[in-house]
A and B are shown apart, each in its own frame.
Chain A
């Protein structure tokens, strides 16, 4: 039979946690990315390519995230994937499961955004610029969702739905930085494309500053 913890103990634990929050762990480093195919892209933009059912970006970028048992996002602000100049912007979006994503049409033409991906199947139907309310979808299952437009076959976007709020997209050189990480034992995962996710264990304390070469 255990007596409930005294109130001060709870207060002390709360203060400690607050202190840990201010001095959270950080991981930064570099992901060795595969070489870009095709023409050299001068600006930092990339596009989604799919080859044999494998979706990746070109030039390649990776998503590095801390996998763990985090609570789903609740009433987090909606994120936007715009359709602009017959492209999805951004083309690669990473969200925590439970996030609502809005798909505003900024082009002068109809778009019909849909996805057949098992993680989230939806079809927004045709709509024009200025459609109100902005068509949106809540992505509640972790996985890769390939965005397509029924009207414009070349349009391709990817939403990577993760169970964690701790993620970062590398730049095209592979550099990333994750901040504000909670202490604990986790698996650090590196998403390279829809078929290739590498992982490794990390042990984080409140003041851990890791520098890693991945994968």
Chain B
């Protein structure tokens, strides 16, 4: 059901829905784009990381092979040092006999046995040469016929060291045969220790063809080699062991010390991802770096393929996201529309209520004023009427029966004026026109005066009055109205009492307030459902028609008590006893008080 004023906010709700849809679509697009970009980036990173891991794994394998070889050669060196003839050659000034003595011991390094010692094991790599260094690191040149492998004298001298290492060391040596390709050899330096003193006697230097990286499973590196002294020595036989690549890498690494761990190298046709890792940690020879190059072409192609797939998936996700966001915006805008609708209804209702309130307030005001005016206007005719009746009563010619009639009429005028007084007072209170002139009122005096009035009115019923009022209790209030409260309560206590009953008045001060209790022996209990109504205006309870009153007394008393800052309550009503309590504020001092 759409209210008549719905057209405006339906358009607004539609706008809201569109804005929501646009916002959601934006979020979806941005998120998809970010995820796509991150995914592409990640794939590139992953790929590179995988390559590097492959390289490191291969390198670790190579290292372990090297370590095994080192261990074996160190053992050879140790055994060699124990040989009497080697010791004699090194210790007894017989270096000329060193190579001849070592020839038999080391022969197998240069020409390993045709059959591996363990069937199935890889044949040992053949050393290209071996040389001894003396205790000071100088080369001990072999005698002719020593069969220690051929080396040109210039190359041989490059093996000399400033000092012998304590541990086996790795190094490299470039051989440049005349008219041939430069060749890189791996050097292993093994110190030889004296059997007797443990001191370094000499060192054995072995030259090997460099160990090559194992081809990693899957995508194999297409070029590997060693970068040494500013030149790349690629492993021979690799499919891409092109001089072009080596030159490009040399150019890229020119002057770099140390070289970067990874770089990209462009050759004319291709680009390469190159990893480098230093090989010899000891550093007694010039540093060398293992080089491993992966062609970027296939990698980029794969990345492109993957990127295309990711884009496809992204587009699908985007479409789905847009659909979802439309659905979501629709679902979200429905309650919002309802909310907008509801709030519109609320607004209209509130406006109406406010208008009504204003009207009511004006009416109330008018009514109060009318009531006050009316009361004033009524008092005068009643006074005139009473004066007329009293003159009539004073006439001697009046018969006795008529005189009683007149007397009753006069009494009624008193009742009328009393009602008018009460109404006047109430209407003034309703209109907020009653201004209290607070003074300290002595409660005991008040009670005494009220009891005086009561005894004057008591008439037929013999009532016993008990009072318990501390003589110095003073309350804050205007004497006229406080007296009226008490008067009303005592009136009720008299009216609704049983013949020969009791009225008890007690007053107590507790914490700044004074409680005055007026109790009386009851005719009967006030029914529960009536109790809350007895303070209402013109309510007479179930008092019965034979009891005089017009239902203003308790209402007036309560209103007066409340404008004095207190209250009036029925505290007990049963078959035996009815009791009201009115509370006042205690007078702080004898002086003036204001509300």
Contacts and interface: CB of A to CB of B under 8 A. Distances in A.
Chain B associates with chain A: yes
Interface of A: 49-53, 114-118, 121, 146, 148-154
A116 B196 contact: no
A57 B235 CA distance: 55
Nearest to B97: A116
A141 B94 CA distance: 16
Given A53-B93, A121-B94, A115 B88 contact: yes
A148 B93 contact: no
Contacts of B88: 114-116, 146, 148
A86 to B, nearest CB: 13
Contact of B83 (A115, A121, A153): A153
Contact of A116 (B92, B135, B197): B92
B482 to A, nearest CB: 128
B453 interface: no
Contacts of B89: 116
A52 B85 CA distance: 16
B92 A114 contact: no
Given A116-B97, A153-B195, A53 B85 contact: no
B220 interface: no
Contact of A148 (B87, B97, B194, B199): B87
B82 A51 contact: no
Contact of A50 (B85, B91, B97, B135): B91
B84 interface: yes
Contacts of B85: 114, 116, 148, 150
Interface string B164-199: 000000000000000000000000000000111101
B527 to A, nearest CB: 128
A64 B194 CA distance: 30
B196 A49 contact: yes
B84 A118 contact: no
Contact of A52 (B87, B93, B195, B199): B199
9 contacts: A50-B91, A51-B194, A51-B196, A117-B94, A118-B93, A121-B94, A121-B97, A151-B84, A153-B84
Contacts of A51: 194, 196-197, 199
A105 to B, nearest CB: 16
Most chain B Cβ neighbours within 10 Å, of A50, A116, A149, A151: A116
Scoring A118, A146, A148, A153 by chain B CB atoms within 10 A of each residue's CB, the highest score goes to A153
A192 B85 CA distance: 25
Interface in B87-144: 87-94, 97, 135
Contact of A53 (B82, B91, B97): B91
